[in-house]
A and B are shown apart, each in its own frame.
Chain A
């Protein structure tokens, strides 16, 4: 039914199960415990995991398959967000038209930027995309403020027209919904000290992410995907084989731009605000890091990378000294203080340092990203089990 082979079906099922059970998996520590700091199972962060997962999956279709390294993909994410918020302001609080609109607008942007940028390859392509994205960011931050609300970010106001939902009484801002299901409504479940949050917004994002993942799987396994990998491998041979690389790369660029727009639209659907920083080069760099960190060209890598970075940004940055003291309070005072001093540079305001060190460690020791790490562990496990010498030949990671 899904037109996937057994291995891929298995991967999809595992990803689906993990995603749907994420509210439980990501909250492994009891609510009151000291380690609860590491729980990530709250709606906002889970939404970010899957939404940035979508962004990275889309980026990987371009970078992982064709090898074209775009340094401006955040522009499409930003455009998607702005489009969605404008739909909320003008049309309806229903997320469906907003998401559809953001995908379309981001796609149109991608057609224009891709058409121009793909005239060059290699680093020249990267710089062209970077230039377009930085121009978008700078304009959105300043000159285009009437459309983007500049530094503050575009947000809903009490006097938005909203043609379909009509003007509400000015009691408060309306909430994004899908045919009445409010994105932020959350069911909370307490079991013996553990707390779990199941939010509508997360499950909508998760389902869309699974669709996006499935779609990318199909693209990877399609003749189109084969052509894209051929472009990465040897563009010269491809053209002497009678194939025109340009429309293939453009299609890949536009598809990945639409993925970014989808992610941007979803971000706005979860929290109706669109900031210009979403388009800055650092944001574009982030998705590159996510993809490479997870494993470029692999199916699941980008999703892992996205989760990894977002986890650090949100969890490590919130650990402060008083939490450290709490953790180490069982130690004698002197040792407690010593340990706190030792860990202090790496947490809270120092979370960037930890992230930088981890980037380096992953690239140095796991050139294939986290996926390669997983494969190595898997191989080790299999080898121990079988007791034989498994083939050391590296197969292209899928």
Chain B
């Protein structure tokens, strides 16, 4: 079976700085895959390479077998890959509902449509409402996004990401900066939203990672030093040495 997402010898350098130095990674359909690694390991860069924000210096990214490296972000998105951002990247001047609706529109077949009244697009409204309900923002639907509390903005970030119904979802530190209870809610949401989908997640909170992920890859200095199930990673000496240290014990 073709993996949902496959990276082959992916490299990226900025001038002399080699940030990603030959990453090979294969994420199977329906798998929840987490990427962990110390700060500056290149996790966000890796996400930017996959989602098309950056052009890889060399190597390939395949989505469901199709080559996507070199394509524009919107093309990649249309092929079924959606991502969230580490720093909330929402439409601040629009309401929560409008934010989600923007995420829904393309997948419902309303490309650059200028002959339809957006208010009359029933499926779009329902899908939007459904997603708002799913993420628990239904009550705040008509608030301007800029007025949302931080945790809700993070939730909205995820809502926009999953709104298009993409099969492969990339989440960049979805729980960063959240309190414990907020994190728990976010994890529940991610579990629910990624059901039946492929999930690639970058996360610092080891509790989240080990709860959520089917498999984990460890990225250090632009290279994946280990990939495996949570147990395997926990037991991996190289990983402990390079990165986890005592932290892993605590998290486990």
Same complex origin of A and B: no
Q: Which residues of B contact A (CB under 8 A)?
A: none
